[in-house]
Amino acid sequence: MCLNSKSAHNLSEKMLPMHDNSGFTLLELLISMVILSIIMIGLHQAMNTALSAHRQTTDRQELLAQARYAMERMVMFVQETDQLEIPAADTLVLNERVLDTYDNDTHAYRAEGDGYLDADNDHYGVVNEGGVNDDPVDPISFSLDKSEPNNWKLQEQMPNYSTSTLDDFLAPKVLCDHVTTFSCTLLASDLVEIQLTANDGENEIHLKTRVKAIYVQ
């Protein structure tokens, strides 16, 4: 049986492979995956950069807040003290006279105080007289705790006003971590220069001020 040319042509058309446009070829799929991977890597790097910048900013703000708080504490006490002493370049000692944090009669600490300065133990309105029957002179100190070589701490030590013992102090309170430099210089009997530098490895804060002690004679 012979097929004419028209029948042969129709048969060949039926035998030709059909191209399916309904899906991706393997090459197109691989290219899509590569492009998606590049986009994901870029987004990951951008997120890491943003998170690192946010963390560094947060760490710097925290370090700055600590350093400022420490300076503000020292400035407050220096301004109100009647006696200044710098036994070492990184130690500041003075007499406290401005806080009212506990009841002078019951010796119980309370936020609202009792209306008398803590240093006014005898309620005479004058603090730190220092006599036998007068208020004892209770010094406070600011100094560096160097017990951790990689993290020096500026600490404050307050007297314990609930006792009459001069060398009875509260536990030291850390004001600032990562301190690299803390120095005090007595420029005059009533004028002190304070410098404080803190560095956590990524951020450095340097503060410097001069404070006048208005009650020093």
Residue 91 CA neighbour count, 13 Å, CB half = 11
Q: Which of 94-98, 111-115, 202-206 is predicted least confidently? A: 111-115
Does pLDDT of 132 surpass 90? Answer: no
Task: Please state the rounded mean pLDDT for residues 34-42.
Answer: 87
CA distances from 47 to 12, 42, 53, 192 (A): 58, 9, 10, 47
More confident residue, 207 or 96: 207
Q: Hey, which bits of 59-217 come out as E strands?
A: 84-88, 91-95, 139-145, 153-157, 173-176, 179-188, 191-199, 204-212
- The pLDDT of residue 6 is 53
- The pLDDT of residue 11 is 47
**Residues 174, 151: contact at Cβ < 8 Å?**
no
Give the pLDDT band of residue 65 (cuts 50, 70, 90): very high
Residue-wise pLDDT for 145-175, tens only, equals 999 999 999 999 988 877 666 667 889 999 9
- The pLDDT of residue 21 is 55
**Residues 108, 93: contact at Cβ < 8 Å?**
no
- The pLDDT of residue 46 is 84
Q: How many residues does the chain have?
A: 217
Task: Please state the rounded mean pLDDT for residues 20-43.
Answer: 79
Give the pLDDT band of residue 124 (cuts 50, 70, 90): confident
pTM: 0.69
Residue-wise pLDDT for 184-208, tens only, equals 999 999 999 999 999 999 999 999 9
Task: Work out the mean pLDDT of the chain and round it to a whole number.
Answer: 83
